Structure 1
């Protein structure tokens, strides 16, 4: 008997760390992104690839905030989940954490098709910090993991298309799909992800649409990121790939093997690396990860989603340590197979004004007789995929879904942010299928709604760290014409800084200082400007004054003020140590709250301070006592560098997060 597809709520209880508060300091510094390349690597590239590599790469996180308030203390926590299920597959989605598909279970065989992380442990891999491993992640925005990795999305029940024909099912007939949608703030683009299971189907269908409602082209980025167990062989219809490692080099390599190593077996590679497969034009787009018996997951799509990629951690100690860091001890490792809009993740594609881009993906089981020779293995897998899910059926399902993409949501299952509602209110955009109602506006949007309504940004009613700054040109224009209060000048300076008008930003912050009731946010912005222009002594002085002002202003030891003191204290310590003002750095350290000083990032800073004070034995003792830097950044090598300053001994395994060979 065929069971009608259904969607239900569920609670998923996992050992989970707390996300904690966001960093309240606006991210003014250039984006710390590890995926840059050298000009010499552009030689010999296809013309469209070379063009897209240089197409408006992201340089700033604004208006998004950094998420670094998480820790590594896990306790059982209930996570809201949505389950979509037929008689063949069960997909579990976390709408409050980026809409991640954390499980895809094939019911007839009982096989989990994805890598399912048994814990929720944020780590510093998203563009804005907090990210977690496992499942299927929807990456939109710019090169890197989306800022929505740990953010809530809107979710609703919507009538599903008839994937075997060409019309939507009637609402209430049992044919529902799960719609996820949000407003991506880095590029100011609304998007949606529609998931459904045709009755009796072994494949989860996913319709994706990204819209550009603006009157200008916008650079666009999308990669669907699928975590699978790493003891797999990865197959894709390609004989070449673009290999990118943490040495920041991009080069064309043969597939499956180069330097005598079969790189399609993730555990064969020594270091972390990306392999972007060169799928020939006209060839069906797909990628699969299969175990030794030939069982596993396949992902395929309509041709718009052209790119395919394998990411491996490698078998060297650094890769192994990262695998442990992201999950529970004793858990098997994972690799990633991905699908994107361009050949590589270093590219951004142009989305024209008033246009949209959409495609259909399908995820399901694949069973292929094991075959060692690459060409035969790929051909056999392609034949099995064609039998299980013909290419024409994917194209037909896409055609059937397109009218449904505009269907208005029915039952609301989860609520995302209010930023989309604010933009729709500002521009009066009509976005069928993805409503952003005014009812979703919250405290974060309230002052900007007031600016939109009255032309004036309201002053805060109580003393607290400043809220988020909107930086898009239309908001910057409104700030420039609003009454020039200190609060408005602060936000205007942030928007001008984002626009590249740094001199004007500094003037706005300096104008605000004489009358500002709160000095530290302005002094901190001016200190960053000093650092970016090479005036490190003046920056250190301003940081010290800002931290002193914050300590006087702080009202309590609650989450909001503690986050501000920790964020500013961390930057102040680094600025003072850079100009060797160790006594002042020690004073800042002593004024931090004890709970902040116990955090791993601050234990690391303590070791740096002790070393600067000429007390290497005490610094070594900090390392020997042990600490975990919860927000250690992907590719960050600070632990190894500081250890090398303390001793000639080999870097302990627990501190080895190296993702590349030592420079020769």
Structure 2
């Protein structure tokens, strides 16, 4: 007898390092993602997609870099789907992440469920957690929403299987995305319906990649219906390689890879898009979808010391993983233009491939792929996917039966903005953005829209950093209606900087400081000057900003970094030595101290920094500053394993 499908809330206890408060310093001038270079021989359509506009920055989002490495047992809320065959556990507060997908017959988890929640610096807003399946929208990188709450609710399915619906506004692209997940009775696969709605009267560059972590074993092979792949390591280049073998060997066995690498499979356009990991028992995760989500990727950390260190850094309580991903484009270097006032949707299925390992692991690649393709079709055949997509689409506008969790208030504010300006908006019946979600971050902007004749920025304390930011000409028009003030002009300066109007940004930021001296305008003007090549003047403004707000640790880091870049390590040390103890104690500040000390000739001080078992919680993926400082200080002495994050 087939068990019914159920949905219930559950409390999990996980060791968790708190995320901390958002960094109050905006970044309207750049992305955290590293630049890349495409090989000239790559296909024209890939080159064209890579030329479609990347956002200038993630503004108006703020960085999430307030975490550490201290974890405490913490009760967290989860939503669980169960059909007696699979149990899927979601964390709406953590970007809607699928945390676990357990085969109830064997007890095996088809995805890698991290034993803890330990943020690290791999996302577009810095903080990211390894494990499960995450949903990435907007532009290349781990999404702005990956460690932010999504709205969540229950939707009654026509087949009696309840559905978990999650949704949120993407503020960079000004689109709404929706994820419906369910386990049909008797199904061997988790079903995930995704819809993106572009309500704007202009085309929008779009990007989506679903990113699944899978436990890494030496006997796990990754297969996809492809004979070619676009490979990248951590040197910024992208080139075409053969599948399954390239110059470095057979890369379909990720645990044996000598280095960290991405492989974007050139999936045959006429076939069903899928990717699967198959171990020596024949089991493993398969990801299959309807044709819109046609990209497939393998990422592995590699067997080098740096890659192994990253595995331990991201999973400090043990465990190694690789990633299987599915996206809208052939690679993650591309965007695709989404037409104005349209919706895109697709269906994804996650389940056990249940292959014959002798065939899947065989030397004949075509035979192995054909065999696994047949098993994937048994999990979810193309005709079944198309039919199920149509039924999911029919349910996509159904109102939720019960709310489960609240996301941000930015969707509610976006609705109010569009009402005030006459811009089109979505039908919120199926994805309500409740006014009750409006919080302190949205309050001044909501008042600016709804309280005619009042100035929500009057009386603002210039010693306190602004809580939040907005973007776009509609907000600029509203701000221009207010009388000049330090905070009004500061926001106008940040808005101009975000759209790369540097001269206008500079004028407004100077005006802000003239109204009331404040660190935020000085720091903002310094970043504008840096972009204009006036680094010496920018450094002076950053040191002034630090004097105005000495308790803000981000200003210390920026001032020291600018001083080092300008060849003034002595000034960097002066800034460090004058800062409060709380700012000086951070790992990032100590790293800059060691670098500055070495460059002033204070070798003993640099050695003391490195001898202190320096820990930098937000060390960036691909960053080599720790190992570089060690080599600059100690020459050819072996780099200690805990300082070696090199990925190639």
TM bucket, shorter chain: over 0.9
Q: Are 1:347 and 2:340 an aligned pair? A: no
Q: Supply the distance in 2 between the matched residues of 1:435 and 1:224 (Cα, whole angstroms).
A: 24
Following superposition, the deviation at residue 144 of structure 1 comes to 0.5
1:234 aligns with 2:222: yes
Shift of 1:582: 4.4
How far off its partner does 1:196 sit? 0.4
1:156-175 alignment runs, 5 A limit: 156-160=153-157, 168-169=158-159, 174-175=160-161
After superposition, the Cα gap between the structure-2 partners of 1:252 and 1:585, relative to the gap in structure 1 and judged at 3 Å, is closer
Q: Secondary structure at the match of 1:328?
A: coil
User: SS of 1:619's equivalent?
Assistant: helix
Give yes or no for the alignment of 1:97 onto 2:101: no
Partner of 1:25: 25
CA contact (8 A) 2:346 2:389 kept: yes
- Measured after TM superposition, the shift of residue 457 of structure 1 is 4.4
Give the structure 2 partner of residue 225 of structure 1.
Answer: 211
What is the alpha-carbon distance in structure 1 between the residues aligned to residue 243 and residue 644 of structure 2? 30
For 1:56, the equivalent position in structure 2 comes to: 53
* Pairing partner for 1:657 from 626, 645, 648: 645
CA deviation map 1:471-529 (0-9, x unaligned): 1222123223332222111001100111111100101111222222x411111111112
> Tell me, which stretches of 5 or more residues in structure 2 are unaligned?
420-424
Q: In the alignment, is the contact (CA less than 8 A) between 2:153 and 2:165 conserved in 1?
A: yes
Take 1:512 and 1:328, find their aligned partners in 2: how far apart are those partners?
Answer: 45
One of 587, 596, 602 as aligned partner of 1:615: 602
**Residues in 1 aligned to 2:296 and 2:136: alpha-carbon distance in whole angstroms:** 14
Partner of 2:440: 443
Please say which of residues 7-16 and 189-198 is displaced more in the overlay.
7-16
2: CA distance, partners of 1:226 / 1:598: 36
8 Å CA contact retained: 2:460, 2:487:
no
Residue 534 of structure 2 aligns with which residue? 535
Residue among 354, 357, 366 paired with 1:367: 354
> Is the partner of 1:149 in helix, strand or coil?
coil
Query: Does the aligned pair in 1 maintain the 2:519–2:546 contact within 8 Å?
Result: yes
After the TM superposition, which residues 635-654 of structure 1 pair with which residues of structure 2 at under 5 Å, given as runs?
Answer: 635-648=622-635, 649-654=637-642
2:502 is the alignment partner of 1:506: no
- 1:42 has 2:33 as partner: no
Matches within 5 A, 1:71-110: 71-110=68-107
Structure 2 length-normalised TM: 0.95
Instruction: Give the alignment partner of residue 343 of structure 2, picking from 356, 364, 367.
Output: 356
| Other structure's SS at 1:10 match | strand
Any residues of structure 2 matched to 1:144-183 within 5 Å, and which? 144-160=141-157, 168-169=158-159, 174-183=160-169
> Counterparts of 1:231-630 in structure 2 under 5 Å?
231=217, 232-259=220-247, 261-329=249-317, 331-370=318-357, 371=359, 372=362, 373-428=364-419, 429-431=425-427, 432-453=429-450, 454=452, 456-459=455-458, 461-462=460-461, 463-516=463-516, 518-551=517-550, 565-630=552-617
Once the two structures are superposed, what CA deviation does each residue of 1:46-81 show, in whole Å capped at 9, x if it has no partner? x33221110001221210101110101111111111
Determine the structure 2 residue equivalent to 1:165. Answer: none
Q: Which sits farther off after the overlay, 303-312 or 581-590? A: 581-590
Q: For each residue in 1:504-559, what CA deviation from the matched residue of structure 2 results, as whole angstroms up to 9, or x when unmatched?
A: 0101111222222x4111111111122222222211211111111113xxxxxxxx
* TM-score, normalised relative to structure 1: 0.93
1-structure distance, mates of 2:329, 2:351 = 23
CA contact (8 A) 2:28 2:60 kept: no
SS of equivalent residue, structure 2 residue 130: coil
CA contact (8 A) 1:425 1:438 kept: no
CA distance in structure 2 between the aligned counterparts of 1:247 and 1:524, rounded to whole angstroms: 32
Once the two structures are superposed, residues 162-198 of structure 1 have per-residue CA deviations (whole angstroms, 9 ceiling, x without a partner) of: xxxxxx34xxxx5310001001112111100000010
The Cα offsets for residues 203-223 of structure 1, whole Å up to 9 and x where unpaired, read as 110000001000000011100
1:325 CA drift (Å): 0.5
Is contact 1:457-1:482 (8 Å) kept?
A: no
Q: Deviations over 1:573-597 (max 9, x none)?
A: 2223333444543342233332332
Contact 1:6 1:85 (8 Å CA) reproduced: yes
TM-aligned CA deviation for residue 613 of structure 1: 3.0
Per-residue deviation, 1:375: 1.1
Identify which range, 129-138 or 386-395, moves more after superposition: 386-395
> How far is the alpha carbon of 1:654 from its aligned partner?
1.3
Q: Please report how far the alpha carbon of residue 466 of structure 1 lies from its aligned counterpart in structure 2 after TM superposition.
A: 1.2
Cα root mean square deviation, aligned: 1.6
**Separation in 2 of the partners of 1:219 and 1:374?**
36
Q: CA shift at 1:440, angstroms?
A: 1.2
> Across the two proteins, how many residue pairs are aligned to each other?
632
Cα contact 1:450–1:458 (8 A) shared by 2: no
Instruction: Please say if residues 35 and 143 of structure 1, whose CA atoms lie closer than 8 Å, have aligned partners that are also in contact.
Output: no
Higher mean alpha-carbon deviation, 389-398 vs 430-439, is at: 430-439
Deviation at 1:367, TM superposition (A): 1.1
Range with greater deviation from structure 2 (258-267 or 497-506): 258-267
Q: How much has 1:379 moved relative to structure 2?
A: 0.8
Q: Cα distance 1:583–1:389, how it changes in 2: closer, same or farther (>3 A)?
A: closer
What is aligned with 1:164?
A: none
Cα distance in 2 between the residues matched to 1:115 and 1:35:
29
* Of 168, 173, 186, the match for 1:200: 186
Q: Which residue of 2 aligns with 1:556?
A: none
Q: Structure 1 residues 586-595 or 390-399, which shifts more?
A: 586-595
Out of 133, 137, 161, which is 1:136 matched to? 133
The CA distance in 2 between the partners of 1:55 and 1:579, in whole Å, is 34
Q: Post-superposition shift, 1:236?
A: 0.6
Task: Work out the CA distance in 2 between the residues paired with 1:67 and 1:266.
Answer: 31
Deviation, structure 1 residue 308: 0.4
Match of 1:554 in 2: none
Give 1:598 shift.
Answer: 2.1
Tell me which moved more, 62-71 or 640-649: 640-649
Secondary structure (helix, strand or coil) at the match of 1:118 reads coil
Q: What is the rounded CA distance, in whole Å, between the counterparts of 2:543 and 2:367 in structure 1?
A: 66
Q: Distance in 1 between matches of 2:48 and 2:165?
A: 34
Deviation of the 1:460 alpha carbon: 5.1
2:197–2:426 Cα contact (<8 Å) kept: no
